[in-house]
Chains A and B, each alone.
Chain A
Amino acid sequence: MVRSRRSRWATAVAAIAALAVVASACGGSSNKSSNNNSNGGPATTAGIHDDSAGGGTPVRGGSLVYGLESDTSGGFCLYKAQLAIAGIMVSRTIYDTLTMPGADGKIHPYLAQSVTGSANNTIWTIKLRPNIKFHDGSPLTAEVVKENLDHYRKDNPLFSFVFAEVKSVDVVDNLTVKVTTTVPWSAFPWFLWSSSRLGIMAKAQMDSPNCNTDLIGTGPFEYVSWKFGDKFVAKRNPNYWYHDPTTGAQLPYLDQITFIPQPDASKRTSSLEAGDFTAIHTSDALQIKNHIRPDVASGTLKDTESDQWPELGYILLNVTKPPFNNLAARQALAYGIDRDTYNKLRNGGILQNASGPFGPGVPGELADSGLPTFNVAKAKQAAATYKTQTGKDLTFTLDYEADDPSTTQDAILVQQMLQQNLGIKVQINGVADQSTLINVAIGRQFDATLWRNNPGADPDTQYVWWHCGNSGPINSNPNAAAACDNPVNFNGFNDPVINADLDKARSMPLGTARTQVYEAINRRFASELWNLWSQYTLWAVAYKPTVHGILGPALPDGAAAFTGLPTGHPVDGIWCTGGKC
């Protein structure tokens, strides 16, 4: 199957995806399996490798220069912003979120002192920490938090969809906010994190006509300057509320952090190697394998890698029209693409084949969901079935983003595999750019397209991408009529079983029974093949050997820091040897 590597559309989709999607899972499995290989990185299967842990007693001082994969054109008025991972990194520098996930796979209070649900999870009480001030000196109050939440609910198209089941947000007292939902909503605290997109802004920022550039948060760093395309500079917040629970030292450790956008992954790596950047992030598997890991092995660099809570690469199939409204056609592809070979050729073999939509760490993950594996005989049989049912040979057009050379190679490989293995004629179609590809997807004017989305989070966060408000027949029936009315369910599948399970799981209490529902959804995807999953993303943060504390300190309630990297990482715990980066 296919993965559209690091293409901008994918990043944007994933970004906005997670915007709505929020948070990662509760009650997940342990994800601390450190598993080094000879190249200094994790093995090809699930794992977290962190060179930045330890290093002695943290020291204050230093200026970090961090290479990001893009800049954020719309700025950082968060309830209007569309943040990809690069924007999230900046956002985490200036703002705090009310909650934060931990390494235990559970959501924990952060800027909030507690987030407590009523017995049936329809009323959520958010108690704020006292004596916290924004960078402009104004206090963090329930009124400000309510105003933030109301903006998110009403002034952001995707968040308004995400929070559609929030009935009201009310101030109880100066430090208490009450959120009432229309349905029992057990994972609601995850949505207060929203992959670090739900930062809390000061009233002065929200009221400013320059809300996107007058950044005022409670976060570890204060805004200094930003020139789009050039750099974003932030200085240490001397009054930051959080202290390192291990050392008791006030955070952050760094004096300054500078973010520099460099979209070219290879250039980002070379600038780190040249010493112009102190740290970078990347999800380019070949860069990780061919450059970063050898540098780590030689001792010139260190890195933190995580394939926990990953994004997902796949072929998005338009199931609202032929040929992929036919299950046999989807089966032919699922059996006919050799994912191992694809992974080896296009990802250097370092990614993990996806067993379903839920990656490592996410509740609902299954080692074997029943997803078809490469089998030429079965693929040919399915293609023959398709011809018998429809009277036509199976042929289709595969779209890809043409301005990304890597994605072009992905598409060509899939085309060759299907033609050589099955004799299926595949037309590949380079779509000009990210926006056009998204436009094509929203309009469902495609047969199949290379895609990446669905970053790891609590599975309830996928609701927005998969659920359909209109009930309809299952599209695997060739005569099906009603496609999904949800425009961001891009391939238009309308599966009543999945719809019902998503509704059911949302209102169930966290725990095994709920997880089992998501496992059922996972199996359902494997049998209906609404999408063809390829590999889970591997994210790496590479840095000079003097850098420590990439994953951040433990959370205020003592939980260890989160280990997923698809939506960035905290910056308050980063420190440099001798206070020099």
Chain B
Amino acid sequence: MRTVARRVLQLLVVLIVVTFFTSILTALLPGDPVTTIAPFSSAQDRANIREQLHLNQNVVERYGEWLKNFLSGDMGREYAGTGIRGTDIYGRIKDTLPRSLLLMLYVQILTLLIAVPLGVYSAYRAGGRFDDIANGFAFFLLSIPIYVAATLMLLFLSVEHHLLPSEGWVAFTTSPVEHFKHLVMPVLAITLGQIAIYARLLRTDMVATLQEDFILMAKSKGISERRVLWRHALRPSSLTLLTVAGLNVGTLIGGALIVEVIFHLNGLGFAIYDAINRRQYIALQDYIAVIAIVYVLVNFAVDGLYHVLDPRIRGARIG
């Protein structure tokens, strides 16, 4: 119970710090948001917009106003002009957040499916030819920026060979096949760079684990190499990987933003990009706050997984 309370407190602190700094950064953006929203509006309309968006207040007061509304569950609407009801921000989050979460989930799954065997086998053959080749290839993939990978795949698989759709989102419930066809390239574009990170981390930990006494003991008992690797060595070597996988959610959000724009997936990353471009300050803070919450919750879950993976941690906490 105390752990949960501490986590909730952490969540609130992270939420406030992140959104407050977002508020400051958006206030520092060049240009007048009123001009963006209504470039040729009358002086009266401009004054109204300033009033409605609290732009006459200083950044702290404006932030306080937003926080009060957000915590009471009122995310507001995007500003579309005097007398025009803009897009409901909660509705947009409801539409876009699942897309981004699903994208990141697929990326994590695919990355782990490739990186774990690669890391385990590299560790098993540490210093050998496979290790060298895997290492080189992983770093080659790491060096390809997401937008380059996305663009090349787009040109080759979509424009040239018409194998995959170049853009858009299809819900799983509408058509599972189309759903995955539309997500192959976006997921791959992000995954490629992640493989190297995960595989190299796991390899390093595995190499150390394989030199532990309990591994020697297992081997001396005649347990097969495969079983030693996958049952005895992998689990204690996964803690760093798990930690990084949790922290890496931030990187994935950045990657999601890029591929959502390129592949027109209209997820939360695209919504953030759009909110920045259109100076939708309130919406932007809502989106960032939601991401901060997701980020903290994911890492909260990762902490929970430590206990599953390593009984020593569980014991330490109990003790």
- Listed in ascending order, the chain A residues whose CB lies under 8 Å from chain B are 12-13, 16, 73-75, 77, 80, 82, 155, 157-158, 209-213, 227-230, 260, 262, 267, 270-271, 273-276, 432-436, 438-439, 442, 488
Contact = CB atoms under 8 A, between A and B. Distances in A.
B116 interface: no
Given A158-B40, A267-B167, A273-B159, 4 more contacts: A74-B81, A157-B41, A267-B166, A432-B29
A148 to B, nearest CB: 16
A271 B40 CA distance: 34
B81 A436 contact: no
A402 B78 CA distance: 26
Given A230-B266, A260-B264, A438-B35, A270 B81 contact: no
Q: Enumerate the 6 nearest inter-chain pairs by beta-carbon distance, A residue then B residue, closest first.
A: A435-B36, A436-B31, A274-B166, A274-B158, A432-B30, A230-B266
A246 to B, nearest CB: 35
A229 B270 contact: yes
A16 B39 contact: yes
Contacts of A229: 266, 270-271, 274
A262 B167 contact: yes
A488 B42 CA distance: 12
A80 B83 contact: yes
B163 to A, nearest CB: 9
A158 B39 CA distance: 10
A435 B39 contact: yes
Contact of B42 (A157, A267, A439): A157
A74 B271 contact: no
A439 B159 contact: no
B165 A276 contact: yes
Contacts of A432: 29-31
A15 B303 CA distance: 53
Contact of A435 (B31, B95, B162): B31
Interface string B253-289: 0000000001010100011001001110000000000
19 contacts: A12-B39, A13-B39, A16-B39, A74-B80, A74-B81, A82-B81, A157-B40, A157-B45, A212-B80, A213-B85, A227-B266, A228-B92, A230-B266, A270-B154, A270-B158, A434-B36, A435-B36, A439-B32, A439-B39
Interface in B69-128: 78, 80-87, 92, 95
B8 interface: no
B33 to A, nearest CB: 8
A157 B271 CA distance: 29
Contacts, number: 105
Contact of B262 (A267, A276, A435, A439): A267
A274 B266 contact: no
A274 B162 contact: yes
A275 B40 contact: no
A87 to B, nearest CB: 13
B84 A439 contact: no
Given A158-B40, A270-B155, A432-B30, A74 B277 contact: no
B78 A73 contact: yes
A227 B168 CA distance: 13
A211 B84 contact: yes
Interface of B: 29-33, 35-36, 38-42, 45, 78, 80-87, 92, 95, 154-155, 158-159, 162, 165-169, 262, 264, 266, 270-271, 274, 277-279
Contact of A260 (B81, B95, B168): B168
B271 to A, nearest CB: 7
Given A73-B78, A74-B80, A75-B80, A270 B166 contact: yes
B76 to A, nearest CB: 15
A435 B277 CA distance: 10
B40 A16 contact: yes
Contacts of B82: 80
Contacts of B39: 12-13, 16, 82, 435, 438-439, 442
A433 B158 CA distance: 31
A230 B270 CA distance: 10
Contacts of B45: 157
Nearest to A291: B159
A82 B80 CA distance: 10
Contacts of A212: 80, 84-85
Contacts of A442: 35, 39
Contacts of A433: 30-31, 36, 277
A273 B29 CA distance: 37
A457 B185 CA distance: 44
B41 A209 contact: no
A213 B84 CA distance: 9
Contacts of B95: 227, 230
A228 B166 contact: no
B55 to A, nearest CB: 14
B176 to A, nearest CB: 19
Contacts of B41: 157
Contacts of B158: 270, 274, 276
A207 B92 CA distance: 25
Interface centre among B81, B82, B279 (most CB of A within 10 A): B81
A274 B165 contact: yes
A211, A213, A229, A270, most chain B CB atoms within 10 A: A229
Contacts of B168: 260, 276
Given A157-B40, A262-B264, A77 B166 contact: no
B31 A73 contact: no
A213 B81 CA distance: 13
B38 to A, nearest CB: 8
Nearest to A213: B85
Nearest to B157: A274
Nearest to A160: B42
B264 A80 contact: no
Which of B40, B154, B264, B277 has the largest number of chain A CB atoms within 10 A? B40
A11 B245 CA distance: 43
A120 B42 CA distance: 33
A212 B92 CA distance: 17
Contact of A439 (B31, B80, B83, B169): B31
B264 to A, nearest CB: 6
Contact of A73 (B42, B80, B270): B80
Contacts of B81: 74, 80, 82
B282 to A, nearest CB: 14
Contacts of A213: 85
B87 A228 contact: yes
Given A230-B266, A276-B168, A270 B80 contact: no
B84 A80 contact: yes
A267 to B, nearest CB: 7
B208 to A, nearest CB: 46
A75 B162 CA distance: 34
A155 B45 CA distance: 11
A271 B162 CA distance: 10
Contacts of B80: 73-75, 212
A488 B31 contact: no
Nearest to A441: B39
B93 to A, nearest CB: 13
B80 to A, nearest CB: 4
A275 B181 CA distance: 14
A75 B41 CA distance: 16
Contact of B30 (A80, A155, A436): A436
A518 to B, nearest CB: 25
B162 A488 contact: no
